[in-house]
Structure 1
Amino acid sequence: MVDVQQKLLDHIPVAGSLVENCRRLVRGAQLLDVPVAATEQYPAGLGPTTQVLAELLDEIPEKLRFSCAECLDWSPAGEGQDQRDQVVICGIEAHVCVLQTALDLVAQGFRVFVVADAVASRHKLDWKTALGRLADSGVVVLTTESVLFEWCEVAGTDEFRQISRLVTGKDKA
């Protein structure tokens, strides 16, 4: 999760749905034991991660570099101890930190997924252009619901019921 900080969110027209979709992704990942990492861009100036998301996370490293790629303790499959070959990205802004993170991770050998309804920019053209460039660069662009059900894989399980509650918003009741 890339830089979902309140001072940035104040300028994002779709901030409410972005935060909710990021929350769903983080909770879904936690329910299914998918590792979660998050970052903050220059929190001294941009403030902390928005509270509803910060409460779900253990650690949120600070960064000055736009890309988050250096903040991950993972390595592509076949290298190192904590091997991952896929990374799902949500956060802001789509045309800066999300874009540079995704491109860096592709260059490092990861299969990268960017969640279109869980990334945003201040301006719709920046968001739209970033998603086009990412798709052209081999990044898979998909939605929150697609990610959650792909992680779940099968219906009829406790995990499926929990993910379904997340998707329908009934997890907060």
Structure 2
Amino acid sequence: MDRYDGFREFVHARQQSLMRTAYLLTGDTHLAEDLLQSVLTKVAGHWPKLLRQGSPEAYTRRALINQHISWRRRTRRELPSAHPPERGHSHDDSTVDRIVLRQALMRLTPRQRAVIVLRFYEDRSERETAELLNCSLGTVKSQTHHALGRLRVLAPELAHLLVDAEPQEVNR
């Protein structure tokens, strides 16, 4: 039996979803690829243990978030400009909205960005988000609230996207 039995299949099945999460965290395709590669290298080293525990995807997503936060702390890179691109005739409104939203996301704290990505892009529940981020349910709720408020300030032109952004959980 190979030490990496199932790892290749896991990567093949979840690569696009994990890459999307990495991209939403970093805002850059090349950084997202580097982040995912770095995390998958670590996951491969822990693969037999992760299989026994039955949580390779949760571990991988948590590792993506933790690695991204670690990189941000080390580099303290300059954030993208808050100024939205000028509206030209070559882009439709949805394209401009995506660009503005991505720039606004990059101006959130790493924890706030992680909460927004998990809650709204990955469509995770508050409880799942708390488990992935290894924090309390209350922290997820407050970080979501603060992040959405900050997005409304950073990108008021996206108010139409953020109107019903705070979903209500059935089991509070």
TM, length-normalised to structure 1: 0.29
- Which of the pair has more CA radius of gyration? 2
TM (norm. structure 2) is 0.29
